[in-house]
Amino acid sequence: MKIRSGTFALGSIVLSLSVLAACGGQSTAGTGRVSIVLSSSGGTVGSTAAGAQALGATADSTGPTWDDHCAVPQAASVTFSSILARTLDGKLIDVTIDLPVTVDLLTLVNGKEATLPAGFLPPGTYDQFVVVMTQVELTLASGTKIAITPPGGGWTAVVPAAPPFTVAEGATTTVTLNFRRDLSFGCNLGDWEFHPAFESRHRHD
């Protein structure tokens, strides 16, 4: 497995209960809200020389070419199972968030984004996300579906936050995890691999 370095207020009892239900019954009191938005960049799968090499293809002066056994996928449904954030002193904290959630990352083109369920973290400063994914299913133009076998525990993407971001109680921090679709898939003679690559950026609301 390869690892790559990518205003909350409870105004009423009803709202409090709905937030707790959304987070699997875990208390979010005293935390800050983290809105995690998924985007994508890097052209189509295999569209760059680096992407072609990752996919088992070759690149020459005319650009990348495909392994004849590897059809370009039309969809890539990825299941996110957990997300952690690292404090500046190196402690990993589970983001309180209603997962698993499956997202077709290849639909995130032309500025399209997908927002995960609301997450919550204790107040503090964080410099990294650890994103765990447990299922990947590709859909080819023919309609054929290909499930990529995960390593034990799933795929892990370590995404640095530069600069680090701060979570404050009663405030929302929006973090965008940008998926590099051209670098994340590999294919050799029809045997697909997934090596998730993300970049991150954030803002405070």
What whole-number distance in Å separates Cα of residue 40 and Cα of residue 2? 20
What whole-number distance in Å separates Cα of residue 125 and Cα of residue 2? 26
Q: What is the pLDDT of residue 142?
A: 87
Q: What is the pLDDT of residue 45?
A: 60
Residue 3 lies in a domain: no
| Distance set, CA 3 to CA 23, 96, 152, 199 (Å) | 28, 23, 13, 13
* 162-182 tens-digit pLDDT: 889 999 998 999 999 999 988
DSSP 122: -
Question: pTM for this one?
Answer: 0.76
* 88-128 tens-digit pLDDT: 999 999 999 999 999 999 999 888 999 999 999 999 999 99
Residue 6 lies in a domain: no
Residue 8 lies in a domain: no
Contacts of residue 132, Cβ cutoff 8 Å, sequence gap at least 6:
80, 81, 82, 83, 84, 153, 154, 155, 156
Please, which contacts does 136-139 make with residues 24 or more away whose CB atoms are closer than 8 Å?
136/76, 136/77, 136/78, 136/79, 136/194, 137/75, 137/76, 137/77, 138/73, 138/75, 138/76, 138/77, 138/185, 138/192, 139/73, 139/74, 139/75, 139/76, 139/77
Q: What is the pLDDT of residue 71?
A: 82
Residue 4 lies in a domain: no
Domain that holds residue 159: 13-204
Number of domains in the chain: 1
Indicate if the alpha-carbon torsion angle 106, 177, 66, 2 is positive or negative: negative
Q: What is the pLDDT of residue 5?
A: 39
